[in-house]
Structure 1
């Protein structure tokens, strides 16, 4: 049983038991004989159906019970059980189609007023108010229950909309995180494999350097495994096993590994460093890593590269250049440059890349400073 159903059953029992007992007493005292039995049975059916007040059939049963009681006597209006009808009308409006309950309620108000005004026992007991006043009162009750149902209906739809938006936001966040991790994996694996391939090529050409080459391959593979373990730890939500993500302070180590792979690379820095935030540092590190990896893959063993980090007045500018051969004509661009641009766009930076006229390739990154970066 759902929580909503359990709540409805509880309300029907707590509210219904005293109301039903009082209705039974009033029915026996007001209409003695077999008609009292019919009224009491109808009240019992209405209270049982009220436990399912959100369903269409329950509203139909309660409306039918009121019609049966009206057919038995006009005094049914004095039975406390009649309060179930506006409550059922409210529930059906809130959880179902809003207009059929209103139509049934208006029709029921008219029939009840007419039955009460024309009943002989009501006239004999001189209980009847002015029929038009009674009709107005019943219509006011119906409209009030219907209006409250519409209000509750709008609340439920608003909550459902918020839940849907929250679900969509969570799905978008999941997709964005998967894309980020995919970029991280691409950078880690591509750089490590480029270094390993370059070392293997050098070891084949210079067998005497085999121990040095194998040591570099081992260190590069260990570093790649460490970073990949950190990324997998994010996916598995194991904070204790995470490793810090690299930043600008780790660029010298990256350049050392790149030199060990056979690429002649230098680094210069100018200006006064300032905090830019760990996310921006990671993005810049990955851009430099991807640029050097591309030089290793496409520049050839004789290529040289330089990394210039410039802390200017308004932005941090990082330029990676090499003197390798230009890309082959007609070759489609890979995912590296697109990944660079996505990374820097996420932290508010830009990336431009171009091939030199004769030889070489230039990747330039500009990251404006943001106030409050930590």
Structure 2
């Protein structure tokens, strides 16, 4: 009887181990599949952004090409006029040479601008997303485990491409940091506050509490695990972040007259705020709705 029980125990243990191995294998497969889907979604967004950027550059190239063609056409017409007038009135032809030279310089300037934009389009390797892409960004990060909410107030105005790119990259970096440091289950709140002349962007997360929640603690347990002291508050207020991501975001903000502040909120998570007091003067037009 003991031998039978021993055999049964061994069989049960082997079955349990086998079940565990199968479960871990399936879990790893699902994680790989999720990561693959997430990477594919990022790739799709990047491709769409890249195509949109290139389409915009091609439109600019086409417009500049039309201008250059018109300039050269006027140049040809003026040259023909000088040639015809040279026989009948040499003095008038000489006077016309000055106007012809000015027209030639203008045409050359148009061609150089066309060349510059064409080279920029050829050399551009990175997509230039706009705030329209933020909705896709939110969706991808939600799929990765970041609970993103978006709030907006004030009257929106359109941003030029450079300003849109700066705001988008700051938003992207801050949310990716929230997921990276807070982990899945972190709540991130994004807020846009438009003023008559500018914009304030804030991103707040509860990454510290999210880490406690992942331990399976109840509300009281989370409160105890995330308790903090006055000293923690003081250190958070005086802490100065100089990480590569923070420095890059601060530099992007400064390009458009913005000021970035970032700090840890003891017992809660991290908060980032960027204030662009005169962004309208740096760019201009109708905003976009980022809500789903």
TM-score by length of 2: 0.49
Max Rg structure: 1
